[in-house]
């Protein structure tokens, strides 16, 4: 089954404690993205990757890092999380014709 | 960058009625306009999309129309059913960078049985 998986699904952490949210896709897509979803703001793109070792900033990259060492994986790293990064995060994989497939989401709370 | 505005933020209809959600965009060079449905606790799912060389596209009860001159596009759902209740998002990719996606703020559709 074609899918995008994210882990963990829920995470509560404290300010400043580094964390990583993993994302994996099994569709052999070159292009992947990370988004955050906040009430009233829709989804905002954090980072995207066009291929292995090729990443670029989206609209809201501050406070986040990404890496793309393998085609199937695209982890999101928060090196020093702050409360304003409390949000719902989605990973997406883009296939033919720019059609995006989203993961189930990771709800992050930073206290 | 691109600015996508979506209206209304909430929409309540009676089962069997039609629902229309509208979006406007700012970049006249944008050429890909997808619509997503997000059910509670799940990730957005692509339901229909349209490209700038097409004015309308239909898929069963769902249709999308695009007016390039006015820079707006709309989602039309006919014969609504309770399972259509969800949050719907529009999006656009700017002409300068097809790797970027800009989303509207979402419309919560409630279909009353």
pLDDT in tens, B19-52: 999 999 999 999 999 999 999 999 999 999 999 8
Among A44, A50, A105, select the one facing B99 at the smallest CB separation: A50
d(CA A57, CA B80): 39
Q: Does A100 touch chain B (CB under 8 A)?
A: yes
Least confident of A33-42, B15-24, B93-102: B93-102
The span from the CA of B106 to the CA of B108, in Å, is 7
d(CA A84, CA A11): 15
Cα–Cα dist A88/A3, whole Å:
19
Closest residue, chain A, to B36 (C-alpha): A100
- What residue has token string 């933020």? B9
Alpha carbon of B77: minimum distance to chain A alpha carbons (Å): 20
Backbone Cα Rg of chain A: 13
Specify the 3-state DSSP secondary structure of B110: strand
What is the average per-residue pLDDT within A69-86? 97
Closest Cα in chain B, distance from residue A63 (Å): 19
The chain A residue lying nearest B41, using CA atoms, is A104
Task: Respond yes or no on whether the N-terminal peptide bond of residue B107 is cis (omega within 30° of 0).
Answer: no
pLDDT at B107: 98
User: What local confidence, expressed as pLDDT, does residue A1 receive?
Assistant: 84
């Amino acid at each position: 089954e074609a899918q995008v998986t994210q882990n963990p699904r829920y995470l509560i952490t404290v300010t400043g404690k580094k964390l990583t949210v993993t994302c994996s896709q099994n569709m052999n897509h070159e292009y992947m993205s990370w988004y955050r979803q906040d009430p009233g703001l829709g989804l905002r793109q954090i980072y995207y990757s066009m291929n292995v070792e090729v990443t670029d900033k989206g609209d809201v990259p501050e406070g986040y890092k990404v890496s793309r060492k393998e085609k199937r994986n695209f982890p999101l790293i928060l090196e020093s999380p702050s409360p304003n990064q409390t949000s719902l995060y989605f990973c997406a994989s883009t296939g033919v014709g720019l059609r995006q497939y989203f993961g189930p989401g990771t709800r992050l709370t930073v206290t | 960058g691109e600015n996508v505005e979506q209206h209304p933020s909430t929409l309540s209809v009676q089962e069997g009625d039609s629902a229309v959600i509208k979006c406007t965009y700012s970049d006249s060079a944008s050429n890909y306009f997808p619509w997503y449905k997000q059910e509670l606790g799940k990730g957005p799912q692509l339901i229909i999309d349209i490209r700038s060389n097409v004015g309308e596209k239909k898929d069963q009860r769902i249709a999308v129309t695009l007016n390039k001159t006015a820079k707006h596009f709309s989602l039309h759902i006919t014969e609504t059913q309770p399972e259509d209740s969800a949050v719907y998002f529009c999006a656009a990719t700017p002409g300068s960078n097809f790797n970027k996606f800009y989303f509207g703020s979402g419309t919560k559709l409630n279909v009353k049985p």
